[in-house]
Amino acid sequence: MSNIIESATLDDIALYLQREESLDSDSAHTAAQQALGNFIEMRNKGLIKGWYFDDFGHLELLPTDSIQLWIDQTK
């Protein structure tokens, strides 16, 4: 899974938000654009490698190795 760069598209995220947050299509698309922008910003800052939907249909962030190490150390 470490090779995931981006597997959840803008449309995928919008559909997810429609389902999970009961948003209408336009609101979900706007929220998805904002979320995607935030994901890109986090990736550019070196916090995440990417984002994806897990086997249960949940939107997940894939942390960079250094952030994952920090998370593991704080448990």
Cβ neighbors of 63 (< 8 A, separation 6 or more) are 47, 48, 49, 71
Structure tokens at 48: 């995440």
Structure tokens at 36: 């995607």
Residue-wise pLDDT for 14-71, tens only, equals: 999 999 999 999 999 999 999 999 999 999 999 999 999 888 888 999 999 999 999 9
Instruction: Give Cα separations from 9 to 43, 64, 68, 69 (angstroms).
Output: 15, 20, 23, 27
pLDDT the model gives residue 56: 86
pLDDT the model gives residue 6: 52
Structure tokens at 45: 């800052």
One-letter identity of residue 46:
G
- Indicate if the pLDDT at residue 2 is higher than 60: no
